[in-house]
């Protein structure tokens, strides 16, 4: 338990921030899972439609601080390559 006013405030801020980060991460992961499941199902057309939405979610997570920008670039690159390969088949 915090013993100072500033420590109490920090606990409140940390909890608020944790919930926001959790919400952002959840949206991001859900979006990526939807795209990956479309790819696994062999539905290239649906994957092409989901790719811009997923990239947008990834960029939003970076902006909100829930994901590192290099990790975001890696995710976007790998997902784009997989969608391109699925559409080439």
Domain enclosing residue 44, as ranges: 5-88
Q: What is the pTM of this model?
A: 0.85
* pLDDT, position 75: 97
What's the number of CA atoms in the CB half-sphere (13 Å) around residue 72? 18
* pLDDT, position 1: 83
* pLDDT, position 89: 75
* Separation between Cα atoms, residue 16 and residue 87, nearest integer Å: 42
* pLDDT, position 13: 97
* pLDDT tens sequence for the chain (89 residues): 889 999 999 999 999 999 999 999 999 999 999 999 999 998 889 999 999 999 999 999 999 999 999 999 999 999 999 999 999 87
User: What CATH number did the domain enclosing 58 receive?
Assistant: 1.20.58.110
- Look at the chain and report how many structural domains it folds into: 1
Look at residues 76, 80, 81, 78 and name the one whose alpha carbon lies nearest to residue 57. 76
């Amino acid at each position: 338990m915090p013993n100072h006013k500033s420590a109490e405030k920090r606990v409140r801020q940390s909890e608020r921030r944790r919930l926001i980060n959790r919400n952002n991460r959840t949206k991001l992961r859900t979006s990526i899972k939807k795209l990956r499941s479309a790819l696994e199902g062999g539905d290239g057309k649906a994957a092409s439609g989901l790719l811009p939405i997923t990239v947008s979610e990834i960029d939003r997570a970076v902006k909100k601080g829930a994901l590192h920008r290099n990790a975001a670039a890696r995710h976007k690159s790998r997902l784009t390559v997989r969608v391109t390969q699925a559409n080439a088949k």
